[in-house]
Structure 1
Amino acid sequence: MATKKKILITGANGLLGQKLVQKLVEEGEFEVLATGRGPCRLPGEGFKYVSLDIENEKSVRAVLSKEQPSVIIHGAAMTNVDTCELHQEACYSANVLATKYLVEAAEEIDAHFIFVSTDFIFEGDEGPLDEMAAPNPVNFYGQTKLEGEAIVKDSKLKWAIARTVLVFGIAHDLSRSNIVLWVKESLEAGKEIQVVDDQFRSPTLAEDLAEGCILIAKKGVEGIYHISGPDFLTPYQMAQITAEYFDLDESLIKKTDSNKFTQAARRPLKTGFIIEKARKQLGYEPKTFRTAIGILSKQIILARS
């Protein structure tokens, strides 16, 4: 029997990382090496976990040289946009320097490097966008992810970039909320909520993003792929669909716009992705936002049982 290729995941304790590890273990095609900062918070078995601080160049080099993965999916990042704006040094270290260390160590072992990026590299004047759209970030987070992309593109590696938009989902041991949970819990409590109607996104179920990254790994493809959900919606429309799905009071959802909110970082108004390339070349088929809510609602019940 042929030995399985080894795949290394960064950020394995996070939402995307957990979904990647779970899917890879279920499919059984790769030997799975999960890495993250601190102890393992992943449920289940069938994978190896190594604690790794990717901002430490020596540690990165040591782990990659010892483990020799054939594929690396680099999903770890500082993603809270306002925190990135307020703590630029920490954000630069997490998103740019860590990527540089991983790329340099990956070059030494000739791994296929898959970098997870974001719609926030775009200024948001027009959307949905395809892979040829010209980046121009409006916040520091977007700037660091674009710098990360440049490091990957300039490398000697076989590389791919998977850009995504507004990822949501539920993971083990993570308290992070998302738009679906926030709307559901607020309306169930009878709270009125203000939701913007002037931003456009393609909300992406975490399982779908994981699937897109795994397809890139399996097919060994190179280049940039837009991996998101298929819908083009405003947060206000997302809130309405959520309320309708759970049969909650839609009149509690109040329409507002971005100007009414003071946030540390600017947000691009219109992004969202055209995913035809991923559909054609990878066979990527994401769930609609409505179907994704159905999947989440089952996961909520399971998490509580």
Structure 2
Amino acid sequence: MIKVIITGSNGLLGQSLLALLLKEVEKYQVFGFSRGENRSGRDDFNYVSIDLTQEENLKKTIREIQPHFIINTAAMTLVDDCEIDKNACDLLNVDVVKWLAEISEELGVHVIHLSTDFIFDGEKGYYKETDNPNPLSYYGLSKVKSEKVLLDSNVKYTILRTILVYGKVFSMSRNNIVLWVKSMLEQGKEITIVNDQYRMPTYVNDLALACKITMDKKATGVFHISSKELLSVFEITQQVAEVFGLDKSLIKPISSTTLNQTAKRPPKTGFDLSKTNKELDFYPKSFKEDLQRFKETLL
């Protein structure tokens, strides 16, 4: 039996991972760590209500479980909030990773850690795993620091970097681009979307699958996980309208400079997925194909 701790089990990726791993209860014993109540709508796993930022209790609880893997999906990801409250950002995004690394080194645990395209400055796009980080925001910097914690440790680790994750789970604590666009257009509301930022959105079910493949293959190192084509955020929202049969004339393009956001965003990210294809034997699809799959889950 493989014991797996999922931190942030109430989140979008956390709940998606629960759904995937619990299909194989004879193989995985799953522990979900999150603050407050279990919001996954399921009771067929071990839920632990825990504040990850309490170091001693975190380490003690992990020591009691003696897991084989920790999948760290917990993070402060609201980019502007991280810019405003750098201490809170560092606590969850860096210090918690440090403590997870320390206890994992002690117990011989494999850590799978989620990171982001925002570690790059977005000057070129199609980033390889080996490209040098140069974050424009404090959120991006915190994720670079969290990666460095693992790189400098003696722990067995995998870093999965991803981009603009979307999907739907039992209990949604926050929105994502696809659901937001769908909801606004269904209400007939006009929306303004940037046409000068480029991304490769990631379907959460694929990201969960990549975490599972990483465990099954015991793959280590850094991997990029996203869909396979680079689109402007404006094109992304237009494709949402097309797939869900909504009025795309309600989507109006604007430039990033008009937004006045607290934190800077990289203009053009996107990943080179060749290492992921080769070493994980994982071949992401186009955004439109993923959207179609996602739409079917909503019917």
- The answer to whether the superposition gives a TM-score over 0.5 is yes
Deviation at 1:229, TM superposition (A): 1.3
Determine the C-alpha separation between the residues in 1 that align with 2:40 and 2:186. Answer: 30
Deviation at 1:292, TM superposition (A): 2.3
Counterpart AA for 2:34: G
Matched position secondary structure for 2:231: coil
Q: Which residues in structure 2 correspond to 1:220-299 (within 5 Å)?
A: 220-299=218-297
Deviation at 1:128, TM superposition (A): 1.2
Determine the C-alpha separation between the residues in 1 that align with 2:72 and 2:182. Answer: 32
CA contact (8 A) 2:167 2:179 kept: no
Determine the C-alpha separation between the residues in 2 that align with 1:40 and 1:252. Answer: 38
TM-score of the aligned structures, taking structure 2 as reference length: 0.96
Q: Unaligned stretches of 5+ in structure 1? A: none
2:204 aligns with one of 196, 206, 226? 206
Q: Which residue of 1 aligns with 2:77?
A: 79
Determine the C-alpha separation between the residues in 2 that align with 1:42 and 1:251. Answer: 36
Q: Which residue of 2 aligns with 1:15?
A: 12
Counterpart AA for 1:171: V
1:91 aligns with one of 73, 89, 92? 89
Q: Unaligned stretches of 5+ in structure 2? A: none
Deviation at 1:94, TM superposition (A): 0.9
Q: Which residue of 2 aligns with 1:41?
A: 39
1:137 aligns with one of 130, 135, 138? 135
Deviation at 1:175, TM superposition (A): 4.2
CA offsets, 1:137-170, max 9 Å, x none?
0000010111000001111111111111110111
Counterpart AA for 2:239: I
Q: Which residue of 2 aligns with 1:123?
A: 121
Determine the C-alpha separation between the residues in 1 that align with 2:72 and 2:186. Answer: 37
Determine the C-alpha separation between the residues in 1 that align with 2:245 and 2:148. Answer: 45
CA offsets, 1:222-273, max 9 Å, x none?
1100111112111110111111112222222111111110111100011011
Counterpart AA for 1:233: L
Determine the C-alpha separation between the residues in 2 that align with 1:61 and 1:175. Answer: 26
Deviation at 1:105, TM superposition (A): 1.1
Deviation at 1:298, TM superposition (A): 3.3
**Greater mean deviation of Cα atoms: 60-69 or 285-294:** 285-294
Q: Which residue of 1 aligns with 2:112?
A: 114
Counterpart AA for 1:44: R
CA contact (8 A) 1:165 1:204 kept: yes
Counterpart AA for 1:101: W
CA contact (8 A) 1:60 1:105 kept: no
Determine the C-alpha separation between the residues in 1 that align with 2:220 and 2:55. Answer: 25
Q: How many residues are paired up?
A: 298
> Does 2:61 correspond to 1:54?
no
Determine the C-alpha separation between the residues in 2 that align with 1:163 and 1:198. Answer: 22
Runs ≥4 in structure 1, deviation > 3 angstroms? 298-301
Determine the C-alpha separation between the residues in 2 that align with 1:119 and 1:99. Answer: 18
TM-score of the aligned structures, taking structure 1 as reference length: 0.94
CA contact (8 A) 2:120 2:140 kept: yes
CA contact (8 A) 1:201 1:234 kept: yes
Identity rate, percent: 43
Determine the C-alpha separation between the residues in 1 that align with 2:145 and 2:74. Answer: 15
1:216 aligns with one of 214, 217, 221? 214
CA contact (8 A) 2:129 2:224 kept: yes
Counterpart AA for 1:178: N
CA contact (8 A) 1:165 1:203 kept: yes
Determine the C-alpha separation between the residues in 2 that align with 1:187 and 1:13. Answer: 27
> Does 2:71 correspond to 1:102?
no
> Does 2:29 correspond to 1:25?
no
The root-mean-square deviation of aligned C-alpha atoms, in Å, is: 1.3
Determine the C-alpha separation between the residues in 2 that align with 1:279 and 1:148. Answer: 25
